[in-house]
Structure 1
Amino acid sequence: MVMVGSKESGNEATWSNFETSEAKDGGGLTMINGKAREEKTVNGFHKITDEDEFDPSDPPPFKIAEIRAAIPKHCWVKDPLRSLSYVIRDILVVFGLAAAAVRFDNWVVWPFYWIVQGTMFWALFVLGHDCGHGSFSDNPKLNSVVGHLLHSFILVPYHGWRISHRTHHQNHGHVENDESWVPLSEKLYKTLRVSTKFLRFKVPFPLFAYPFYLWSRTPGKKGSHFNPNSNLFLPGERRYVLTSTVCWCVMIALLLCASIVLGPVQLLKIYGVPYLVFVMWLDIVTYLHHHGHEQKLPWYRGKEWSYLRGGLTTVDRDYGWFNNIHHDIGTHVIHHLFPQIPHYHLIEATEAAKPVLGKYYREPKKSGPFPLHLFRYLVRSIKQDHFVSDIGDVVFYQTDPKLSGFSPSKMD
């Protein structure tokens, strides 16, 4: 499929998903590689299709209840002992790695430690994320205690993030109401400073966005995950947010004490660098859940949006050896539609749902031991997916051609 940006908004999308040779036919057909395909317009985008091609922006012919019915009943069962076993496993690995690194304390070991330990911090985050969804157990107190311990350790305000992440799931795929890596409208995009665009759309800067997002969200959205009075939260949720902010402050105090005992350089090596690796994992994985597919996927507004249509724009990813380490978080479509399902049932639930989802499920590209292929999708998407049109209820990312060739010297 080739998509050409509309000039309605004064900008042109400059991507092409496949190398094609085109020749216009007077009957509304386009010749692509010798095959005639019908040209269809959606919200100002010319989308070349044929009768065999799938259009992801079309409403699905099934309902969410049909997907739910296809998933085996045992996939919905939460086993708190099994969930806790993953927590114990990951904590033992984290402290074992730290002890080993301190014991050997040489520059052959440290780089390996930073990568592995940062990955384990990310695994802890995913387990805390399950607590926030209630897929960890049916016991809210257990979920809250475990979630606070895991997330506070990696400097995430548990309830603050849990609530905003709930908003993300309830509004996934909605241009204005979504909460995670939300597309910028063209109008908002044009108001951004050049320096902001540079930091947001030039790798590696977006890979370190998460701490800043926690403090001040994204452009166009106000509030902080640490402030109980933020518009992110309802009045009845403020005491929960305050509790999590206090826990976060306690962890900061413990780190300051550790820096006095161990020294700031040693603390940076043991905790600081792995924390940055964790942030990179989080930003890469969450971005690729909703961006970077080979085929441009729609975003919705107004009556065109529904919980199901938004969830179906989510993308599964294969992370090779890391699938088990980070608790199959790449199996994300079914998780988005049914976040109550424990992570250890997601693969089975996905396999059961595939016959219902049909072409609306996009099989992830198989990875080798290390998912290096995903960096190509990540870089391409960040380079091309800049904003969406201000008009229309079904929209696709467009590219700002002026953004290419940016350099720090051009920042305002």
Structure 2
Amino acid sequence: MVQRQSFEGTGRDLDRQRIAALEKQASLGDVIQTIPKDCFRISPAKAWARLVVNVLLVVLGYAALALNPWWWLLPALWIFTGTALTGFFVIAHDCGHRSFSTRRRINDIVGHVMLLPLLYPFHGWRIKHNQHHTFTNQIEMDNAWRPMSVAEYRALSPGVRAGYRFARGIGWWFASAVHQLNLHFKPSLFKPKDRADIRLSSTAVIAFACVLFPALLWMGGPWAVIQFWLMPWLVYHFWMSTFTLVHHTHPDIPFYPAATWTPVTGQLFSTIHCVYPAWVEFLCHDINVHIPHHVSTAIPSYNLRKAHTALKAHWSDYMHETEFSWSLMRSITRECHLRDETGYYLPCREVD
């Protein structure tokens, strides 16, 4: 049994004590050992059942959009359909971590198919995302919401500064779309051994788009593109941006230089469990039960809650939990922009 720690202090000083105690007490392997073995077991029945239910819900959303006679109901239908499409991403997310199926080919095929409606290239996303998992909250290597240093920010032109402030502020909800376009389609950003996979996924997305958009235009003109693709896609990116931002952003969780970063600090201490409304948790397959997923990507999404309960029984002193609210988003988007010399957040307004 893990011995409980006693901590004294407030805010960042208290969390520095926790980081030091955690790194002295355990490695990431020790943490993984406290998760029941059956949490790592892949269940084809559960995986395929979730996929089928998710597909039916997306079909239901599109059918409702096609048959709906009331303009005022459109926002609710877009929110439902876009959130259900976020579930497609989570299934592909399991595929990318090889936790949907024990067979690599099935993971690759399902991952590609699930991401096509979102115009996401599977291999381009998978490889960059695994880099985030390998180096979570490491300054030099993490590629997800890594804050700029004060010096980097001051070196930007005024226009680029404004864009950065927008992406970390009120425009956070669209930042994942920019991330998608900038990182996942360019073979030159990947190692030579991965570039054939990147071209394959990018070609699949481009081919799908060349069928999708002409078909929508033929069926209903520009409004069909807006109604059936653009609006659900924007809802998806709202959730994608929100989930990924909240997963690792907190005033008391720093980014660490490689010299002091450790896997157990990055994956256990620096990952946040956030509770969302039940309908979001259901449609998005519990992706925000996120700490066990960072402790081990081998845990399928349907086992995350059981794994989280086990982690809390042993490591609750080192785990961060919160609940989704607009006040939470306001706090993050107002305060968590740049990193100071110690790796902690500070707002842009303090250096502008």
Whether these two folds match at TM > 0.5 is yes
Aligned residues: 338
Work out which of the residue numbers 266, 271, 281 in structure 2 matches 1:314.
271
Q: Measure how far apart 1:59 and its partner are.
A: 4.7
Local SS of the residue matching 1:316: strand
Q: Measure how far apart 1:93 and its partner are.
A: 1.1
Work out which of the residue numbers 206, 218, 221 in structure 2 matches 1:249.
206
- Letter of the structure 2 residue corresponding to residue 214 of structure 1: Q
Work out which of the residue numbers 142, 146, 157 in structure 1 matches 2:110.
146
- Letter of the structure 2 residue corresponding to residue 95 of structure 1: V
Change beyond 3 A, Cα 1:47–1:123: closer
2:169 paired with 1:208: no
Structure 1 equivalent of residue 303 of structure 2: 345
Q: Measure how far apart 1:271 and its partner are.
A: 1.5
Local SS of the residue matching 2:306: helix
Deviation per CA, 1:109-153: give whole Å up to 9, x if none.
211111111111111111111110111111110000000001112
Q: Measure how far apart 1:178 and its partner are.
A: 0.3
Change beyond 3 A, Cα 1:227–1:38: closer
Q: Measure how far apart 1:386 and its partner are.
A: 2.1
Deviation per CA, 1:187-246: give whole Å up to 9, x if none.
211122333333333443121112211222xxxxxxx3112222xx22111111111001
CA–CA distance in structure 1, aligned partners of residues 16 and 144 of structure 2: 26
The percent identity for this pair of structures is 27
Contact (CA 8 Å) 1:334, 1:350: kept in 2 or not? yes
Local SS of the residue matching 1:297: coil
2:334 paired with 1:376: no
- Letter of the structure 2 residue corresponding to residue 282 of structure 1: M
Change beyond 3 A, Cα 1:253–1:56: farther
Tell me the TM-score normalised to structure 1 length.
Answer: 0.77
Work out which of the residue numbers 394, 401, 404 in structure 1 matches 2:349.
401
CA–CA distance in structure 2, aligned partners of residues 209 and 38 of structure 1: 35
Structure 1 equivalent of residue 34 of structure 2: 70
Work out which of the residue numbers 145, 158, 172 in structure 2 matches 1:181.
145
Structure 2 equivalent of residue 275 of structure 1: 233
Q: Measure how far apart 1:387 and its partner are.
A: 1.6
Local SS of the residue matching 1:55: helix
CA–CA distance in structure 1, aligned partners of residues 76 and 65 of structure 2: 9
Contact (CA 8 Å) 1:114, 1:273: kept in 2 or not? yes
- Letter of the structure 2 residue corresponding to residue 125 of structure 1: F
Work out which of the residue numbers 20, 29, 35 in structure 2 matches 1:58.
20
Structure 2 equivalent of residue 386 of structure 1: 337
Change beyond 3 A, Cα 1:204–1:251: farther
Deviation per CA, 1:72-114: give whole Å up to 9, x if none.
1111101123211111111111112211221123203211111
2:253 paired with 1:297: yes
2:193 paired with 1:225: no
Change beyond 3 A, Cα 1:38–1:116: closer
2:331 paired with 1:331: no
Contact (CA 8 Å) 1:316, 1:332: kept in 2 or not? yes
Change beyond 3 A, Cα 1:194–1:102: same
Let me know the Cα RMSD of the aligned residues: 2.1
Contact (CA 8 Å) 1:200, 1:206: kept in 2 or not? no
Structure having the larger proportion of residues in helix:
2
Greater Cα shift, 77-86 or 162-171: 77-86
Indicate the structure whose relative CO is greater, using CA pairs within 8 Å and at least 6 residues apart.
2
CA–CA distance in structure 2, aligned partners of residues 356 and 48 of structure 1: 22
CA–CA distance in structure 2, aligned partners of residues 38 and 342 of structure 1: 37
